[in-house]
Structure 1
Amino acid sequence: MKLTSLFSIVILALIGVVLPGAKKPAPAPVSSVSWISLDEASGKLQQQKKPVLIDLYTSWCGWCKQMDKKTYSHKGVAEYLNDKFYTVKVDAESRATITWQGKSYNYNPQYRCNEFALYLAHGQLEFPTTVIIVPGEAPQAIPGYMEPKEFEPLVKYFGEGAYRSHGFDEYHRNFRPSW
């Protein structure tokens, strides 16, 4: 009798160890930003005016990869950017000719980057750099890695149009995060 009870306890313990792992829900799908090309963004701007958000990166930049992994894959960030912006990734070291708003930009061997990157970042190259271009205005370059909580007020400032009536400092003081 004792052997049967001991055997039952061992079986139940094993079931308790095995089944919880089998019952784990599948991980939630990772949200992602719908990146488009500069040409696509240019064409879409003709149809509907929205700010363009450019992720200016390099292939060797570790913080750029972190921003992709932690910030751009955050559900709130991805959903918001997909709704309010045309989102484009630009490799700052691209050797291809880049055309934007009727002007062509080439690779500059002196700076070892594309002139478009120099234009976007106003000559101050740091990676990653988030660039926001409001239609008809100069690019706004914000250098450095940002976590979603740091990124939220920035993109909402432009995405909600607050830049038209408030300075960023004033907006940020009154900002209430939701991500």
Structure 2
Amino acid sequence: MKKILLILSVFVVFASLYSFKTNEKATNNEVSFYDGSLKKAMTKAKKEKKMIFLDVYATWCGPCKLLKKTTFKDPELSDYFNKNFVSLEVDGEKGEGIEIVKKYQLKGYPSLVFIDSNGNVVNKTLGYYDGKELLEIVKGIK
């Protein structure tokens, strides 16, 4: 009888932990960034009939880090972005990022670029914005 109670107790503890983790993930809202190239993001955007949000950053950039730490975790902003955009983050000083900076004539970091699925710029902005400010900008271009 003691073994059965012990087994049940262990089961209840693990079930509770699993349930807590699942709920934690469900409430962890943040902008979901696509893991791929800009070309693949454009293909995905066309298929899903969405625009592309491009966050061009540099690893040394303080405002870029602040965007990731705060703005991109704003629940209202992330919900809107995840429903309406294929979001892509690119280091502007490495790999494909170097060409993206040239192509879109970006002047600094963070550069936030909104493009259609064909790669045409709809809007671009430079600098840090909190969630509410960025959401206002975005809703103005849709």
TM-score (norm 1): 0.58
Runs of 4+ in 1 over 6 A off after TM superposition: none
Tell me the alpha carbon deviations over residues 114-169 of structure 1, each in whole angstroms, 9 at most, x when there is no partner. Answer: 1211222x2x42111110002346323200100112111111123xx3xxxxxxxx
In the alignment, residue 136 of structure 2 is paired with which amino acid? Answer: P
Residue 102 (structure 2) aligns with: 118
Paired positions, count: 117
Unaligned 5+ segments in structure 1 are 1-27, 99-112, 162-179
Tell me the alpha carbon deviations over residues 93-128 of structure 1, each in whole angstroms, 9 at most, x when there is no partner. Answer: 01x2x3xxxxxxxxxxxxxx71211222x2x42111
Residue 133 (structure 1) aligns with: 115
Structure with larger RCO (C-alpha < 8 A, sep 6+): 2
- Asked if the contact 1:129/1:143 (under 8 Å) is kept, the reply is yes
Tell me the alpha carbon deviations over residues 77-105 of structure 1, each in whole angstroms, 9 at most, x when there is no partner. Answer: 111100000100011001x2x3xxxxxxx
Q: Please give the residue correspondences for 1:21-100 in structure 2 after superposition, counting only pairs within 5 Å.
A: 29-36=27-34, 37=36, 38-94=38-94, 96=95, 98=96
- After TM superposition, the structure 1 stretch with the greater mean CA deviation from structure 2, 50-59 or 37-46, is 37-46
RMSD over aligned CA atoms reads 2.4
TM-score (norm 2): 0.72
Indicate the percent of aligned positions where both proteins have the same amino acid: 28
In the alignment, residue 32 of structure 1 is paired with which amino acid? Answer: E
In the alignment, residue 116 of structure 2 is paired with which amino acid? Answer: V
Larger Rg: 1
In the alignment, residue 59 of structure 2 is paired with which amino acid? Answer: S
Unaligned 5+ segments in structure 2 are 1-23
Tell me the alpha carbon deviations over residues 27-74 of structure 1, each in whole angstroms, 9 at most, x when there is no partner. Answer: x74311110022441221341321100001011111101011110011
What CA distance in whole angstroms lies between the structure 1 residues aligned with 2:71 and 2:124?
17
What CA distance in whole angstroms lies between the structure 1 residues aligned with 2:90 and 2:61?
13
Do the aligned partners of residues 69 and 81 (structure 1) sit closer, same or farther apart at CA in structure 2, a change above 3 Å counting?
Answer: same
